[in-house]
Structure 1
């Protein structure tokens, strides 16, 4: 069962980790490239802030973003800001998300995210946790996938395996990590299953588009090319 209150507490802790780490940057390093192609660290921080606002909208029953174009425009607008403005925005928007999450609500209700995707309201705090944790890694400032909580890695792998299940462009895929956990995903193509195994962080990183799969084994066949998330 999803524990949204626990996830909200985890979001608060993860946000503080990100803010503490980012506070060691300066204006020049905020403008430097992040690990995400085409994005500076400023883009990443701006996105983290705007995502908090967007998930407030989701919990309040409003559209997540006015449009895809508005989302992108807001990030581009906010990316060049100096460090102090970036940190204040991440902090203030995170506080707004926490406040919305602490309001009395029916957490079993269904909410709508981007592109018509729906989910249980109770899963929204974990979705926010994913944003904060993975984008902290994307900043490239010393926080790595190996630093992530083991339960978080398992849950995100669960989520991503489910997301790719039945995808028409993927063969059946059997996943296993070094903790003895297994998943099945893909299966949209008529092909023999591909067995992919490796360390938990590498496996999740590959599914999340953060690693190229170089640390994984695929039973003598090439790793499937995963579609964009």
Structure 2
């Protein structure tokens, strides 16, 4: 069962870590490429701010985004701003998210997110935690998958494994870090594969942040995962 209050506290802590690290940049660094293809660090920071406001919309019963095109346009519009403007926007939008969450009394309802995805409202704070942690890594400023909180890594691996469960393009796959094990994919005509590695390596592969180098695969090739 999700603990939305605890996850909201984790979101605040992760946001503070990101802001502290990003504050060491300068305006030139914001314009440099992030680890996400086609996005600068400014695009990543702009996305984090606009995602927070989009989740405020979800909390308050409005559509998450007006449209996909509007979402993309907002990120593109804001990406080229100076560092201090980005930092203030990420901070202020994060505060608005926390304020909107604190006004909620019913966390049991189902909400619609982007692209028609639905989820329990109580799971939305964890989704925001994912955004902050992974995009901190995407900034390429010294925060790596190995630096992620252990609880977050375990939960995010489980979250992604569940996302690919039953997917027709993903073969039946056992995923393990040697201590914990998960199963994902769909049942193929033959036997499935087993993928073994450290938690950061597994998370990097599942989240599309790493190519799977360093993972041990038995029973076939490393599955090619669809984009998130």
Q: Same fold (TM over 0.5)?
A: yes
CA distance in 2, matches of 1:152, 1:93: 22
Native 8 Å contact 2:205 2:212 kept in 1:
yes
SS at match of 2:218: coil
CA distance in 2, matches of 1:149, 1:191: 37
SS at match of 1:218: strand
CA distance in 2, matches of 1:57, 1:151: 28
- Determine the structure 2 residue equivalent to 1:121: 121
**Pair 221,189 (structure 1): closer, same or farther in 2 beyond 3 Å:** closer
Native 8 Å contact 1:172 1:191 kept in 2:
no
SS at match of 2:75: helix
CA distance in 2, matches of 1:50, 1:184: 34
Cα deviation for residue 188 of structure 1 reads 5.4
CA distance in 2, matches of 1:166, 1:156: 18
**Pair 197,58 (structure 1): closer, same or farther in 2 beyond 3 Å:** same
Is 1:88 aligned to 2:74, yes or no?
A: no
Cα deviation for residue 115 of structure 1 reads 1.3
Q: Deviations over 1:29-73 (max 9, x none)?
A: 000000001100000000000000011111111111000000000
Native 8 Å contact 2:107 2:121 kept in 1:
yes
Q: Which runs of 5+ in 1 are unaligned?
A: none
Q: Deviations over 1:135-170 (max 9, x none)?
A: 000000000111111110010011100000000111
- Determine the structure 2 residue equivalent to 1:200: 199
CA distance in 2, matches of 1:115, 1:222: 31
Native 8 Å contact 2:4 2:123 kept in 1:
yes
The TM-score normalised by the length of structure 2 is 0.98
Is 1:160 aligned to 2:151, yes or no?
A: no
CA distance in 2, matches of 1:220, 1:106: 46
Native 8 Å contact 1:170 1:186 kept in 2:
yes
SS at match of 2:195: strand
CA distance in 1, matches of 2:115, 2:188: 24
Cα deviation for residue 220 of structure 1 reads 5.7
CA distance in 1, matches of 2:42, 2:21: 14
Native 8 Å contact 1:171 1:190 kept in 2:
no
Moved over 4 A (4+): none
The TM-score normalised by the length of structure 1 is 0.97
Cα deviation for residue 191 of structure 1 reads 3.3
CA distance in 1, matches of 2:133, 2:152: 9
Native 8 Å contact 1:173 1:186 kept in 2:
yes
Q: Give aligned pairs, total.
A: 228
CA distance in 1, matches of 2:187, 2:61: 33
CA distance in 2, matches of 1:207, 1:16: 26
Aligned CA RMSD, in angstroms, stands at 1.0
